[in-house]
């Protein structure tokens, strides 16, 4: 709770796939005076993401898929390279990311480690993202991956040398924030 904020009204502007809210609230400034503010917030729940890495091969598993919002904002093909990720639904973050890892990459990982929690776009999107890493071995691949058919997911699984993935951040071939954060985490902690 924040005693300087008093929510006055919450309107639903759109409630189609996810929810867009308009919130009116009183904001008490440092000098004690108050002002009424309005802000919109897009609520699509929370999410989890994971970077799979292999210590012997020095490789990582990434995914590639069409992302409409990037397509309408300057990404010519709309294709985006990302770590495996998904929305939480009713799961806790760890169960969610295990399920997503299997669905999207086909790997069944054993130990996973949570490294960060991050608001990815705090001025407009409510989502908090739980970020994980996990070691993978070739024998952990139990399915094709690619995502869930009825959700119309068409996900390509990429296995890349870690050094190449790091270079792809520099060249702009990797432009997704959660992916950059997790690749740099491995680098920062000298894991690969
Ligand atoms: N029909 C329809 N389907 C949608 C819509 N929006 C999303 N979907 C579908 O809902 C599913 C969500 O898939 P997940 O794997 O659970 O989520 P994600 O989109 O990969 O989300 C991950 O990445 C996001 C972008 O970085 C993150 O914001 C999110 O937290 C998560 O990490 C996908 O099949 C997607 O196509 C929509 O407006 N209409
Ligand atoms: Mg996903």
pLDDT in tens, 72-122: 999 999 999 999 999 998 879 999 999 999 999 999 999 999 999 999 999
Say yes or no: 107 and 155 in one domain: yes
Do 53 and 83 meet the contact criterion of CB atoms below 8 Å apart? no
Q: For the segment 153-184, what is each residue's pLDDT rounded down to a tens digit?
A: 899 999 999 999 999 999 999 999 999 999 99
Q: The pTM is what? A: 0.95
Collapsed DSSP state (helix, strand, coil) of residue 23? strand
What's the confidence (pLDDT) of residue 147?
Answer: 83
The CA 70 to ligand 1 mean position distance, Å, reads 13
Q: Which helix (H) or strand (E) holds 186?
A: helix 177-188
Say yes or no: 31 and 87 in one domain: no
Q: Is 102 annotated as a binding residue?
A: no
- 128 or 147: which carries more pLDDT confidence? 128
Instruction: Count the neighbouring beta carbons within 10 Å of the beta carbon of residue 119.
Output: 12
Question: Structure tokens of 101?
Answer: 């890892």
Give the range among 16-20, 92-96, 141-145 with minimum mean pLDDT. Answer: 141-145
Say yes or no: 166 and 136 in one domain: yes
DSSP 174: -
The CA 85 to ligand 2 mean position distance, Å, reads 4
What confidence tier does 51 reach under pLDDT thresholds 50, 70, 90? very high
Say yes or no: 30 and 52 in one domain: no
Please provide the size of the chain in residues.
Answer: 192
Collapsed DSSP state (helix, strand, coil) of residue 2? coil
- 31 or 89: which carries more pLDDT confidence? 31
Say yes or no: 135 and 72 in one domain: yes
Core vs surface per residue 66-93: b (16+ CB within 10 A) or e: eeeebeeeeeeeeebbbbbbbebeeeeb
Say yes or no: 19 and 92 in one domain: no
Q: Which residues contact 56 (CB under 8 A, 6 or more apart)?
A: none
Say yes or no: 85 and 12 in one domain: no
Backbone angles phi, psi at 149, to 5 degrees: -60, -50
d(CA 72, CA 143): 33
Say yes or no: 60 and 155 in one domain: yes
Domain count, the chain: 2
Q: Which residues are near ligand 1 (CB < 6 Å)?
A: 17, 47, 49, 85-87, 100, 127, 129, 151-153, 178
Say yes or no: 56 and 73 in one domain: yes
Q: Is 104 annotated as a binding residue?
A: yes
The CA 36 to ligand 1 mean position distance, Å, reads 34
Say yes or no: 18 and 101 in one domain: no
- Residue 25 domain boundaries: 5-43
Nearest ligand to the CA of 117 is 1
The partner residues of 23 in beta bridges, in order of sequence, read 10, 39
Say yes or no: 53 and 122 in one domain: yes
Q: For residue 103, which atom of ligand 1 is closest to its CA?
A: 15
């Amino acid at each position: 709770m924040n005693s300087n904020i008093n929510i006055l009204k919450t309107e639903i502007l759109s409630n189609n796939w996810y929810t867009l809210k308009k919130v009116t609230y009183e904001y008490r400034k440092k000098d004690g005076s108050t002002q009424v503010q309005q802000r919109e917030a897009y609520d699509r729940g929370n999410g989890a993401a994971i970077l799979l890495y292999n210590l012997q091969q020095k490789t990582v598993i990434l995914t590639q898929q069409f992302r409409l919002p990037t397509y309408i904002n300057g990404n010519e093909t709309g294709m985006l390279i990302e770590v495996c990720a998904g929305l939480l639904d009713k799961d806790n973050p760890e169960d969610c990311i295990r399920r997503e890892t299997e669905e999207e990459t086909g790997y069944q990982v054993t130990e996973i480690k949570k490294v960060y929690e991050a608001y990815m776009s705090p001025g407009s999107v409510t989502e908090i993202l739980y970020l994980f890493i996990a070691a993978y071995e070739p024998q952990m691949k139990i399915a094709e991956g690619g995502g869930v058919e009825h959700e119309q997911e068409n996900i390509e699984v990429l296995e890349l040398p870690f050094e190449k993935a790091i270079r792809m951040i520099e060249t702009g071939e990797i432009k997704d924030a959660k992916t950059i954060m997790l690749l740099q985490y491995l680098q920062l902690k000298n894991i690969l």
